[in-house]
Structure 1
Amino acid sequence: MKRNSTISGLMLLLFFFTTNAIAQNVALKGKVTDAATGESLIGVSVGIKGTANGVQTDVNGAYSISVPTNATLTFSYIGYTAQSLPVNGQTTLNVLLKGESNELKTVVVVGYGTQRKRDVTGAVASVNGDQLSKQPVQTPTQALQGKVAGVQVLSSGQPNSAPILRIRGTGSVLAGANPLYVVDGVLTDDIRNINNNDIVSLDVLKDASAAIYGVRGANGVVIITTKKGKSGPAVVSYDANVGFREIASQIKLANRQQYVDYLNVASPGKITSDDKSPLTIPGTTNWADAVSRKGFYTNHNISVSGGGDKSTYFISGNYYNEDGVIKTNNFQRFSLRANNDVKISDKLKFSDQISLTRGAERAVDIGAVYGNVYRAAPIIPSILNGKYGNTSAWSNVGNPLLQLDKTNNFILNNRVQGNVAVDYNPVKWLTFHSAFNLDARFNNQKNYGYQFDADGNTFTVGGGNQRQTNSSLFVQNDNSYQYQWDNTVTFDRTFDKHHFTVLGGVVTEKARSNYINGSRIDVPANQDQWFLDLGNPDLNATNSNNGSLFTRQSYIGRVNYDYAGKYLLTGSIRRDGSSKFAEKYATFYTVGAGWVISEESFVKGGIFDNLKLRGSYGELGNDNIDPSLFIVTGLPYQPYYFNNGTLANGTIIQDIKNTNLRWETTKQLDLGLDFGFLNNRLTGEFDYYDKKVSNALTYVTLPGILGDPDNRFITNAASYQNKGVEFALRWRDNISPNFSYNIGANISYNKNTVTGLNGGQALNGGGANGQTITRTENGQPIASYYVLHSTGIFQNAAEVAAAVPNSLEANHVGGLKYEDVNKDGKIDANDRIFAGSYQPKYFGGFNLGVNYYAFDISADFYGNWGNKIYNGKKNSRGSANDNIEAGYADARFTTAKPSSTDPDLITQSTPPSTYFIESGAFLRLNNLTVGYTIPNAISKRAGISKFRMFLTSQNLFTAKRYSGSSPELFNTDILSAGIDATNYPVTRTFAFGVNVQF
């Protein structure tokens, strides 16, 4: 009996405690919405403070969680101010989250880690992925144009072209001036495989903070972070836009009558009444129009993301198709991305990210096509009665339309990029990270030239030579891979007011590439039969096979220190070893400091919400050169006769090389100020920088007796400097829950100077009719125009008779006058002067956005000034029968209408001069977008959480002074930058799109 009573008592006690525990928990539900717009927020993290338990809001912004009655809930969401609210026994708790106004709390990626922006001591700019995806462009760097101070972006209208980025000026000539790209930890030089909709953020390291990347950080670093999944229900998103592109400003060439009038002076006797003359065929051919079209494009993206407590996923697929504005030009891209995180235990996490891309392109040789567009006679039809006009019979240039139709340059690109990583946290403040990153490319190229002749496929006026008697095929396969293995350990701990983050690690890299190619003639025209084995191996057959290999071994370290949120110190070091140099190892470093003045008691409560003074100094490297540039190579299997007449094969040294080449070194100082006023509605940054490059690669002249075919070799004998200031300002304000707006602007000033060639020779570049146009010389910007100084036009014979002799071009009435700069009594190449460069002194952009109820509108402007353009197409006439520009045709000197600015003729012998140099200043409306979001009450009836439709345009208009079609010139050759010769036309885009989320 006593035993039964004891058991009953224990059961009663257990029931009491269990009932009490249950009674202390409540089932809580609620909804989280945007305080400004009232929209439901999907994926908000709802956690129980002090525990690891939590949930996320669903597609309707709703959540449900079991919590103790006295618990405190935390609500956090990217871009919003976190909130902590007590439960107090409630069963319903709705929350309004306010947009995060304090930019200094934003997390930015700084290389092998992240930091709050308020803790950053370097010049780091961040752009949200949403700002990039709204623009109808293929690559994210195109959408970056005008958004970041200190970053100049040059883009081409050609599909699948990689934009040119210059971060704080041009810092190299022969070793490359492009920045390093880091995509989810993968180091690369090409991001054309990235789908803009997959990007969370794009961070730009502009100063010496890039030294954490050592020999690859001298030109700046662009870090791209792609999306990941979040715990919660699956979220399906579909984004698409379709539209067309057109040439923004077509080049205007002389018409029939203008051309004939000019030809009567340039080529007397050319125009006759002979029935073989093309004048018997009426009309004018606009060759620029003949080879161009409206190019339609479409871009579709679908993604699925979600996950549970142990794993999350993000999967996306993209299809992009674009017809170029030049006929036959086309590009297609398919891409697939999968980002996954798996929480194996509380201390161990596994993640993987993979991107698969396949691109197919029919490319055009724009240099060859437009070289003929500018020169082809407008009196010959492009096509007549099914046959192509034979321009070669008249002016000795090919029919550019025939060039396009009879050539098929097909390029197939396959790319695998991604990584796998493991993170281990034995304790909360210590993280071991190991990641293997891979970037592999498999490319195939087939260039086919169709057979045609003057009798069959072209009509001839007086004979011509535009024909291809044999078909031709060139095939090349390129395979390459680059892997990187990162192993780092991070210590992150706070002791009272002292916060330390210490990083140390080892990075191993290896890259290998190889190609094999060959060519044959008489290959069948059927594309399915484009194989070398089906061609004639006996005539003009070629074969080639080569490759390259390089490795890097690096050791990295970084310390970040923060005292009381006021005083910041940063130091990083990287020891890099590279197989590209005989001297294998070098050390690069950066030091930085910051003072958050707004946290001081004498500033708090004043007009400043944020005020931070920062500075950094460091040394970076540049090893972007051919891996064998310092290695003396030989050419094998060359015939050699011995004294006895015996013939044998041997190896010869091809050229002379400097076996002691070193990496280029950049030392950069940066001083900056970050500020915020009026509850951080007004924020901005100001930076001053001084960026000096030493040991830069250049050419040094060799004595002819040494036998080098170029009489020069590459060595470290140059230095450059970029010095400038940057200023950015932003204003954001919410007038009411249904009305908000933002305005932003940035401007940069940069002065580029060649500070020393140290025995190296001046570098000449560009060219027109065999004459160089640019010169890189001490005291001048890189690739400055080096030309004669044109002072006007000879108006009469007396002026000609009084002029000094010209050894470059005969003086005549209507001809250009030149200044005898060196006063030696003659005009020759020694009278050239420096006349500016394509590098702008100022560049920047401004943008604005408005949200009013369900409508949104945004506009982005971009421009630069203080730079010059050399109108090379005007100066590229190869013969007296070539066409001219319409503007020049109207303005040129004639006896009936004398001109004081434009000569009567421009011939092959017309030397480069200031006459061809024009202002490169412009202001462009880069993007204009108008959107409408269907109210939630309507869209949710169809099971859609968000539905937005929009109209957008790119490059809507450009205000410019340049007489050519566009002041934005895309030229990857640094020494030819700014020469408008045969650039792919800049395009204007009109598109319609939708953003749908389920």
Structure 2
Amino acid sequence: MKSCLLLLYLLLVARLAMAFYAPVKGMVKDKDGNPIPGVTIQVKGTSLGTVSQPDGSFTLNVPDANATLVFSYIGYEPQEIPLAGRATIDVTLAPSSSQLEQVVVVGYGTRRKRDLTGAIGSVKGEEITRQPVNTATQGIQGKLAGVQIISSGAPGSQPQVRVRGTGSMLAGAEPLYVVDGVLTNDIRNINTADIVTMDVLKDASSAAIYGVRAANGVIIITTKRGQAGKMEVSYNMSVGWREVANLVKMANSTQYTAYLKDVAPNAAIPPYNVSSDWYDAILRKGFQQTHNVSLSGGNDKVLYYFNVGYLTDAGIVNRNNYDRLTVRSNTEYNITKELKFVAQLSFMHNNTDYVDLQGIYNNTYRAAPVIPVMQNGKYGNTSAFGNVGNPVLTSDKTNDNLKENRLQGTTYLEYSPWTFLKLRSSLSVNQGNFNRKRYNAKYLNDESTFLVAGGNQQRPESQLTIVKEQGTEWLWDNTATYQQRFGDHDLTALVGFTAQKYSADYVEAARRNVPSSSDLWYLIAGDPNTSTNTSDGDKYARRSLLARINYGYRDKYLLSASFRNDASSRFPSDNRQGYFPAVGLGWVISEEDFMKNSDRQIFDFLKLRGSWGRIGNDNIASNLYILTANSGLLYFFNGVATLGTNLADIKDRNLKWETTEEYDVGLEFSTLKKRLTGEVNYYNKKTIDALVNVRIPGLLGDPDNEYTTNAGSFVNKGWEFTLQWRDNISEDFNYTFGGNLTLNENEVTGLNQGQPLFRGGVGQQGPVTQTASGHPIGSFYVYDAAGVFVDQAAVDAWVNKDGQKLQPTAQPGDLRYRDTDGNGVLNDNDKIFAGSYQPKLYYGLNAGLNYKGIDLSLDFYGNAGNKIYNGKKAFRYELTDNIEASYADKRWTPTRPSSTDPKALLGSTRASTYFVESGNFFRLNNVTLGYSLPKSWLDRIKIERVRVYLTSQNLFTVKRFSGFSPEMVSSNPKADGFLSLQNSTSPLEAGIELMPYPTTRTYAAGLNVIF
């Protein structure tokens, strides 16, 4: 009986308490009248709050009829509205004009930029889509401080990205990509038209929540979702062409013949009266087009976004083509007020025709101009002239096709039993199939194929190679987020558990003498006696525990702390665990009374922040610590033959995490009525226990073998500066301009085993880079060239301290080299460090204006302080290789004794500073001019928006490098899987131009229509 009375009493108290709460209802819309779901509505000074429904409506019980409601949402200016006794309020939110008020995506959540304690940069999707790029990362080139993008002109290629310098020697230097929760290292399947924002987590504090895969930064991509209201249909398209942005001019027949008479006076010049332009023979203007159709809309139960995109890009090299089809479906189901189900799925199919840069592009540079490309239907026989093979023949007789399918998606359930608690469980899948078929046709060195017989360019048997790979990666995330405001205190706490697994299978097989008809390109059609095959695979797993707390007091004292425990199967069991803490502090100085009450207040917003964190890296092969053995080996014991086993290689059984530790200090500000915003950052990022390949001493086996171990450490430290000016002159006219600058210093601080790492082989010159303590990773290590011997007197005068000739076999016209160690002999000890490919600074500039319906934007990009090794110029195996026209005009001759360029460049020419050139450049990266039709016109035909535009990418580049492009990135993906796709150029050998795919210039026109 007592319990019943107590229950009755509690119900009565609760009912009386509710009597003091009055319901307030309303709608939240944008300036165009569209409802905004998910807006946070809170009673100011209390923890009471709710969120708007998909139709924009809300209901909130308010304890005081004179209370003030605070409305806030991503990308919109917050509003505070006093109730003044009203029971119904309709609110219109305006887009945020301040970057500091905008919300950015962080790991497993979002934060207002003003509340961040870490370094995070953000780019809106509309800034990316206005550029004619195939991959989203290329669209943010030059837009963010601390983020370096190195792009290639090859269709379907992925740009190389460096966040705050080179973060690893061996364990992958690329950032982690997170696409709607899917973790990946390849975003070529993402249609740029689907992107809302790209947020880059640059420092360890902000990226540490992703633990093991975040050592090189994190790029979070958020794709579009539907909005409640009527269905919106949009169509976007562009058409245009690409061409070579810069082409190295090669010597014509006259220049080449004069050179050949000097270096090979006995060479027989072919009787053809031609001057072939080999680049003209293999290059073209490549047509490109994109088409995107999207549908979006929804109601209070379902929100949807659906897009289909099609892209074609004909490369500038003949037979190099790329086609891509993408489909995306993002759907959100509100099952109940508390329970939501979201499915975000994407599919990509691409079809790529590759060209063999080794056999085609390299040979184009070297091919003699005195040989015709083709004549009377027959190929010019460059190989009969002691030269390279005919690159056009190689191209015509090779078919290399790749077909790839990718399915990527995330589904999750989100349950909010109370407004302050959110429980989420998501499953992400990244699955793909990789099928490559390469057919090398048969051709013989006879009159039926060549103008003249002879030489060595022939293929007596055709060969078909087929590569198949399939891979699957899944990630299971479970998180609980608590978010509450208690008066002046704002607290958000996150805990979670994640599990991940990856598996892939790789098979490659080949047969010869396969018929030439493409209908018969199957292995069974070839000679079974010529079969070769190999297979491989990979499998690994990760498990992680994570936690994070964000705390704010009175919106001016900020704290963020996170911890992540990772376990990776890529390390031995004793070293499998990794622990990665991070902490960040922020002080919003502009909220202090001494700033607010100042008569001379300069800053609208001023924040000082600092952070520290540690992150791991396990991006290595899964079997580097596993010993393997060769069995069935014959050896003799006491004169008796016995079968035995030996170890196949040497492995480090104590392999452990490569760890990056970073601290960051930043200052953010806004002034002049929020028209000028800026940011200054200093960072110091140290990588310890760096994974490197160390040479095995000859005493232990083959001296050419290497093994992987934790043997290095290095540091990246620098400054980042960002300024942006935005102003509205009138309702019809606004403009913006700004820029960013990054200063970065990379230095190897230790190689535990004292062995410098030599890489970057260039023909007979051998390795041209060395990674050693006290120098940047991948520094050029070459002889110091001191000009050219102009005459015999100069040869005789080049002596050591004892009066002996330093180069006794030298002749006038040869390069001369300094005896840098002063021992009187030229040897490897005289090599010097001559810079690296890593720039000391890089920057971006941007400007834009909008006047009525006209919009114009300009983006510039550049870097300075880096070097490039002109390897193609040094790579000479044959005397009959062609030369560059500029060298032909400047080289030493008896009648023109140059002091800068030698008389001949031969295979025996030493690797020296003569081939090291400046990598500085400044580029107009993009210019776009658009026009949007007036709203009054469009209302008559029931269309929301029509915009037409003209755009150009890489319109001009100012550079000092004599090669094709100061940007170099490997263009062909390795055939080791779509999930493990990486640029094959190692940081230890970056910046060597051997056979580059030239940077391209693009001209395009486009149309955007919204119905």
TM normalised by structure 2 equals 0.90
1:473 and 1:652 mapped to 2: Cα distance? 35
| 2:622 pairs with one of 624, 627, 634 | 627
1:772 and 1:652 mapped to 2: Cα distance? 32
CA contact (8 A) 1:621 1:664 kept: yes
* Superposition CA RMSD, Å: 2.9
Task: Write out per-residue CA displacement over residues 75-94 of structure 1, whole angstroms, 9 at most, x where no aligned residue.
Answer: 9875443557799999x999
Amino acid at match of 2:210: Y
CA contact (8 A) 1:30 1:95 kept: yes
| 1:261 pairs with one of 226, 250, 258 | 258
CA contact (8 A) 1:45 1:77 kept: no
2:70 and 2:448 mapped to 1: Cα distance? 76
SS in 1 for 2:529: coil
Match of 2:583 in 1: 591
1:709 and 1:537 mapped to 2: Cα distance? 37
Amino acid at match of 2:364: V
Task: Write out per-residue CA displacement over residues 831-871 of structure 1, whole angstroms, 9 at most, x where no aligned residue.
Answer: 10001111110101010001011110001000001111111
Amino acid at match of 2:390: N
Greater mean alpha carbon deviation, residues 560-569 or residues 633-642: 633-642
Amino acid at match of 1:779: G
1:27 and 1:117 mapped to 2: Cα distance? 30
Match of 2:46 in 1: none
Distance 1:89 1:294, change over 3 A: farther
Distance 1:457 1:294, change over 3 A: farther
Task: Write out per-residue CA displacement over residues 210-266 of structure 1, whole angstroms, 9 at most, x where no aligned residue.
Answer: 111111111111111111111111111111111000000111111110000000011
| 1:386 pairs with one of 364, 371, 377 | 377
Please, which runs of 5 or more residues in structure 1 have no aligned partner?
A: 1-24, 34-39, 58-62
Matched, 1:542 2:532: yes
Match of 2:190 in 1: 194
Match of 2:1008 in 1: 995
Q: How does 1:204-283 map to 2 (within 5 A)?
A: 204-208=200-204, 209-271=206-268, 277=270, 280-283=271-274
Amino acid at match of 2:287: F
Amino acid at match of 1:726: E
Give how far 1:453 is off.
1.5
2:408 and 2:880 mapped to 1: Cα distance? 52
Task: Write out per-residue CA displacement over residues 735-775 of structure 1, whole angstroms, 9 at most, x where no aligned residue.
Answer: 11110101020000000000000114111111222311111
CA contact (8 A) 1:349 1:423 kept: yes
Matched, 1:729 2:723: yes
Give how far 1:482 is off.
0.8
SS in 2 for 1:458: coil
Give how far 1:698 is off.
2.1
Distance 1:651 1:243, change over 3 A: farther
Matched, 1:364 2:363: no
1:498 and 1:70 mapped to 2: Cα distance? 22
Task: Write out per-residue CA displacement over residues 172-198 of structure 1, whole angstroms, 9 at most, x where no aligned residue.
Answer: 111111111111111111000000010
Match of 1:132 in 2: 128
CA contact (8 A) 2:37 2:227 kept: no
Distance 1:795 1:613, change over 3 A: same
Greater mean alpha carbon deviation, residues 651-660 or residues 872-881: 651-660
Give how far 1:708 is off.
4.2
CA contact (8 A) 2:479 2:494 kept: yes
Give how far 1:365 is off.
1.6
CA contact (8 A) 1:753 1:781 kept: yes
Amino acid at match of 2:789: F
Distance 1:226 1:171, change over 3 A: same
1:26 and 1:794 mapped to 2: Cα distance? 90
SS in 2 for 1:736: coil
Distance 1:597 1:414, change over 3 A: same
Match of 1:986 in 2: 999
Give how far 1:965 is off.
2.1
Match of 1:492 in 2: 483
Distance 1:821 1:55, change over 3 A: closer
SS in 2 for 1:466: coil
Match of 2:8 in 1: none
Q: How does 1:757-768 map to 2 (within 5 A)?
A: 757-768=751-762
SS in 2 for 1:573: strand
2:94 and 2:40 mapped to 1: Cα distance? 20
Give how far 1:283 is off.
2.1
CA contact (8 A) 1:809 1:910 kept: no
Q: How does 1:835-846 map to 2 (within 5 A)?
A: 835-846=834-845
CA contact (8 A) 1:291 1:327 kept: yes
Matched, 1:975 2:988: yes
Amino acid at match of 1:543: N
CA contact (8 A) 2:381 2:453 kept: no
Distance 1:772 1:232, change over 3 A: same
Give how far 1:397 is off.
0.8
Match of 1:459 in 2: 450
SS in 2 for 1:345: coil
Task: Write out per-residue CA displacement over residues 105-129 of structure 1, whole angstroms, 9 at most, x where no aligned residue.
Answer: 2111111111111111000111111
1:94 and 1:485 mapped to 2: Cα distance? 40
Greater mean alpha carbon deviation, residues 388-397 or residues 202-211: 388-397
Match of 1:19 in 2: none
Match of 1:927 in 2: 926
Q: How does 1:810-821 map to 2 (within 5 A)?
A: 810-821=809-820
2:332 and 2:693 mapped to 1: Cα distance? 50
Matched, 1:434 2:430: no
1:502 and 1:29 mapped to 2: Cα distance? 30
Matched, 1:616 2:608: no
1:55 and 1:419 mapped to 2: Cα distance? 21
1:353 and 1:826 mapped to 2: Cα distance? 67
Give how far 1:516 is off.
1.2
Give how far 1:939 is off.
2.0
Match of 1:176 in 2: 172
Give how far 1:101 is off.
2.0
Give how far 1:448 is off.
0.6
2:409 and 2:73 mapped to 1: Cα distance? 27
1:405 and 1:48 mapped to 2: Cα distance? 62
Greater mean alpha carbon deviation, residues 697-706 or residues 936-945: 697-706
Match of 1:738 in 2: 732
| 1:781 pairs with one of 776, 782, 796 | 776
Amino acid at match of 2:780: Y
1:482 and 1:822 mapped to 2: Cα distance? 54
CA contact (8 A) 2:806 2:824 kept: no
Match of 1:301 in 2: 292
SS in 1 for 2:366: coil
Match of 1:570 in 2: 560
Please, which runs of 5 or more residues in structure 2 have no aligned partner?
A: 1-22, 42-48, 60-64, 971-984
Give how far 1:287 is off.
1.2
Give how far 1:976 is off.
1.9
Task: Write out per-residue CA displacement over residues 31-57 of structure 1, whole angstroms, 9 at most, x where no aligned residue.
Answer: 964xxxxxx465556999788776759
Match of 1:655 in 2: 649
CA contact (8 A) 2:50 2:419 kept: no
2:100 and 2:671 mapped to 1: Cα distance? 13
**Identical-residue share of aligned pairs (%):** 49
SS in 2 for 1:141: helix
Give how far 1:686 is off.
0.4
Amino acid at match of 2:159: P
Distance 1:799 1:483, change over 3 A: same
Match of 1:17 in 2: none
| 1:522 pairs with one of 513, 525, 528 | 513
SS in 1 for 2:138: helix
2:743 and 2:26 mapped to 1: Cα distance? 56
Match of 2:830 in 1: 831
Distance 1:621 1:739, change over 3 A: same
Give how far 1:801 is off.
2.6
1:186 and 1:806 mapped to 2: Cα distance? 65
Give how far 1:149 is off.
0.1
CA contact (8 A) 1:47 1:74 kept: no
